[in-house]
């Protein structure tokens, strides 16, 4: 049976873009006769705020989205994440890295390498150089994957269900952060496999990150899910939507006088699944849903979309 999921981070309220992605993920799972799961990605205690997960789940319920198992909190899987990383260490597929974000940003890199990709500074240090680096560092090292031992030319190509063929040069992704926490990349790959997720719907800001996840899945011998990267919702100024832009959360919309079914209707309208002004629940959209016809461009809000009732 197909299994989809929605995996928010409990760092703040869900905004319209998050809710739209959740709706698409739910529709895809139900449309294919599958199950829908929720995973709370609370791996990082520094960004996980108390009570936020509960309010996020309540927002999803208000919109009429349901799920088939109790939500999985990612932090409860930390032991499994660490064990999987140690497997890669034992296979000599990892190395320590002391580079700061600034050093990575300013380091020269090969042509066509994605912005922010790790250039391999610490990868080939010999024992003496590694010891000097450790002695002079003011923080513990992160642990990175040796992607060159898994992908010969570092290029990974896959077919996204919405974006089509994607080809990206992969870098040496972080496996364990300097503070000892497993990385997001490690956790998402392992937890999708643990939950039996075979269809992932998420924002297309993660499209070029997916090849890293495919490399990790291959390293552990896992079957990766199929990916559907949904174009983002943008603010009127063209930037990524955020709380600072105005009435962009469900609580904001309700305070303006909108009803949850009107919010679903407006989200559905932006996806080409509803006519203007319709009040709908997710169940009303199942007969209309066709993933091949979803828009491939961002939804850019107008000022009145965040200032006035829908």
The Cα angle at residue 206 between residues 202 and 208, in degrees rounded to 5: 135
The beta-strand segments (E) located in 41-171 are 72-73, 94-97, 142-145, 155-160, 164-169
Give the HSE-up count for residue 154: Cα atoms under 13 Å, Cβ half-sphere.
18
Give the HSE-up count for residue 147: Cα atoms under 13 Å, Cβ half-sphere.
24
Angle of helix 52-62 relative to helix 16-31, nearest 10 degrees, comes to 60
User: How many Å apart are CA 39 and CA 35, to the nearest integer?
Assistant: 13
Give the HSE-up count for residue 1: Cα atoms under 13 Å, Cβ half-sphere.
11
The one catalytic residue among 243, 293, 296, 304: 243
Do 175 and 124 form a contact (C-beta atoms < 8 A)?
Answer: no
Radius of gyration of the chain (CA): 21
CA distances from 145 to 61, 71, 79, 109 (A): 39, 29, 19, 18
Among the listed residues 184, 195, 189, 173, the one whose alpha carbon sits nearest the alpha carbon of residue 224: 189
Q: Is 292 designated active site?
A: no
| Coil, strand or helix at 18 | helix
Do 180 and 207 form a contact (C-beta atoms < 8 A)?
Answer: no
Read off the tokens for 136: 């002079």
Active site amino acids = 243
């Amino acid at each position: 049976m197909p299994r989809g999921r929605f995996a928010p981070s409990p760092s703040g309220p869900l905004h319209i873009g998050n809710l739209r992605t959740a709706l698409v993920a739910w529709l895809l799972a139900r449309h294919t006769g599958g199950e829908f799961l929720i995973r709370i990605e609370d791996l990082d205690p520094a960004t996980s705020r108390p009570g936020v997960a509960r309010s996020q789940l309540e927002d999803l319920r208000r919109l009429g989205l349901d799920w088939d198992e109790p939500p999985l909190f990612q932090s409860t899987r930390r032991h499994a994440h660490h064990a999987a990383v140690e497997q890669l260490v034992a296979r000599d597929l990892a190395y320590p890295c002391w580079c700061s974000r600034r050093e990575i940003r300013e380091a020269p890199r090969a042509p066509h390498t994605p912005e922010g990709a790790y250039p391999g500074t610490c990868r080939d240090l010999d024992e003496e150089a590694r010891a000097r680096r450790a002695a002079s560092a003011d923080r513990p090292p992160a642990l990175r994957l040796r992607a060159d031992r898994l992908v010969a030319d570092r290029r990974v190509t896959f077919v996204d269900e919405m974006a089509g063929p994607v080809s990206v040069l992969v870098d040496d992704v972080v496996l364990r952060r300097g503070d000892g926490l497993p990385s997001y990349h490690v956790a998402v790959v392992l937890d999708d496999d643990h939950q039996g997720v075979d269809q992932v719907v998420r924002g297309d800001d993660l499209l070029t990150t997916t090849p890293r996840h495919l490399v990790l899945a291959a390293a552990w011998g896992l079957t990766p899910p199929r990916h559907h990267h949904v174009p983002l919702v943008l603010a009127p100024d063209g930037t990524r939507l955020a709380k600072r832009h105005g009435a962009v959360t469900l609580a904001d919309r309700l305070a303006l006088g909108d009803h949850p079914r009107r919010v679903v209707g407006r989200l559905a309208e932006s996806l080409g699944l509803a006519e203007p002004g319709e009040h709908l629940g997710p169940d009303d959209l199942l007969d209309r849903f066709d993933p091949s016809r979803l828009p491939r461009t961002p939804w850019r809000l107008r000022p009145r979309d965040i200032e006035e009732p829908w």
